[in-house]
Amino acid sequence: MLKTKKTSRFNLPALAAAGTLASGLLLASTAQAFTVISFGGASGEAMQKAYYGPFQEQTEAELIPGDYNGALSRIRAMVETGNVSWDLVEVESPELVRGCFEGMFEIVDWERLGLENQLIDAAVEECGVGTFVWSTVMAYDADRLDEAPQTWADFWNVEKFPGTRGLRKGAKYTLEFALMADGVPADEVYDVLRTSAGVDRAFAKLDELKDHIQWWEAGAQPPQWLVAGDVVMSSSYNGRIAAAQEEGQNLAIAWQGSVYDLDYWAIVSGSDHVDTAYDFIRFASQAENQAVYASEIPYGPVNPDAIAELSSEQAARMPTADANLEGALAMDTAFWVDYGEELEQRFNAWASKL
């Protein structure tokens, strides 16, 4: 441990690497450095640039980044055996709810963190702090439609916008969109969906559109179908549409009625670096750092002030831009964790009947 600290103070990359290696070999039994686990990929690179690097420079704390596939099983094993080598993990919202329920994550002391009023409401959870927002939106090919569809009611309007529509093969998102198309305001969607009459209403609305739906399975499909002209509009993850836009496709997004969800930081229960984790979360939630992340990848910052630091073009692509949040719906994770199976089964039964 001493060796590691010394090398990081000299800040010589080679020595630090050697030190990390040595500590990795030596520290099978003693405490390890602060370890942050994300989903990796393009998002992980953006995190390295926006959070990991600057945090290490500023605090001189040693940070070991890593990635995983989002499955809770490994974290569960760590907590159960008391051998916690991951300190802070990025989790998706259903895993946050499940993990929190099982006691796998530390309960966040929001007073100590002192961020509560700086972040959007959905970022504040019992066991997690939101880090970015992604959204399921309505997308269309602007070259093919004369008039831009605005709402889910337009999506259902096959007279005005003839053609096939793409929706995700599953109940999640689809039922929310159906209710909004049926005139339910965004903030009442889950209240309606919790009643069996509301579920019937959503399926009745889906019946209207059934013959015009092409169901997608993978997130890469909607932009590809839109470009190929298979569908005139489709629900899609906003990041996928942004990537297609960067490739020069004239795809557009209607943000009205989009359903957004967050990825969270969660501190693994029994971590030795809770203090550092709090420092890191505080650091990663600052507007300027969030802006760096969001400029790398089109996921929305949870700190609304970060939007101001982005170029207007970048800001318009963020799910958390003011204009985009209007009429948007925060996904109710607890609802889907509880009712997901029942509704998915009903969706499958419905979809099988032609």
Partner 1 sequence: MPRVMSATATEEVTGRALKKQLRQAERLKKIKALALVLPLVIFLLLVFVQPISTMLARSVDNSELMEVMPQTAAAISDWTGEGLPSEAVMAAFAEELQTSRRGGGLGRVGRRLNYEDPGFRGLLMRTLRRLPDEPAAAWQTVLPELDPAWGETSTWQAIQRAASPTTDRYWLAAVDRERSSSGEVQPVAEEQQVYLSVFERTLVIAGSVTLLCLLLGFPLAYLLATLPTGTSNLLMIFVLLPFWTSLLVRTASWIVLLQTGGVINGGLMGLGLIDEPLQLVFNRFGVLVAMVHILLPFMILPLYSVMKGISPSYQRAAISLGCHPFAAFWKVYVPQTISGVAAGTLLVFIMALGYYITPALVGGASDQMVSYYVAYYTNTTNNWGMAAALGSLLLVVTLVLYLVYHRLVNQQQLARS
* Nearest of 349, 330, 354 to residue 133 by alpha carbon: 330
Determine contact, residues 70/263, Cβ cutoff 8 Å. Answer: no
Report, in Å, the least distance between residue 88 CB and partner 1. 19
Q: Which is nearer to partner 1, 76 or 282 (CB)?
A: 76
Q: Does 334 bind partner 1 (CB under 8 A)?
A: yes
Amino acid letter, residue 173? Y
Which residue in 140, 173, 225, 293 binds partner 1 (CB under 8 A)? 225
Q: Looking at beta carbons only, is 58 or 83 nearer to partner 1?
A: 83
Distance CA 296, CA 50 (A): 9
Cβ distance to partner 1 smaller for residue 125 or 309 = 125
User: Closest Cα partner for 165 from 102, 217, 121, 230?
Assistant: 230
Residue closer to partner 1 by CB (options 57, 126) is 126
Within a 13 Å sphere around the CA of 337, how many CA atoms are in the beta-carbon half?
Answer: 13
* Interaction residues for partner 1, span 156-175 (CB under 8 A): 164, 169
Q: Does 348 bind partner 1 (CB under 8 A)?
A: yes
Q: Is 203 in the site for partner 1 (CB under 8 A)?
A: yes
Distance (Å, rounded) from C-alpha 261 to C-alpha 176?
13
Using a 10 angstrom Cβ sphere, with 0-12 exposed, 13-18 middle and 19 or more buried, the burial of residue 202 is buried
Whichever of 117 and 352 has its CB closer to partner 1, that residue is 352
Which amino acid is it at 171?
A
Collect contacts of 345-354 with beta carbons under 8 A, ≥24 apart. Answer: 346/171, 346/199, 346/203, 347/170, 347/171, 347/174, 347/175, 350/203, 350/206, 351/169, 351/215
Nearer to partner 1, 102 or 272 (CB): 102
Q: Which of 59, 118, 214, 245 binds partner 1 (CB under 8 A)?
A: 214
Question: Among 5, 98, 212, 282, which residue sits at the site for partner 1 (rule: CB under 8 A)?
Answer: 98
Answer yes or no: are the C-beta atoms of 254 and 67 closer than 8 Å. no
Q: Which residues pair with 33 in a beta bridge?
A: none
Nearer to partner 1, 1 or 337 (CB): 337
Site membership for partner 1, residue 153 (CB under 8 A): no
Rule CB under 8 A: choose which of 92, 230, 272, 296 binds partner 1: 230
Residue 92 binds to partner 1 (criterion: CB under 8 A): no
Q: Per CB under 8 A, does 105 bind partner 1?
A: no
Residues 253-292 that bind partner 1 (CB under 8 A): none
- Binding test (CB under 8 A) with partner 1, winner from 79, 89, 115, 315: 79
Contacting positions for partner 1 (CB under 8 A): 76, 79-80, 98, 101-104, 164, 169, 203, 214-215, 217-218, 225, 228-230, 334, 337-342, 344-346, 348-354
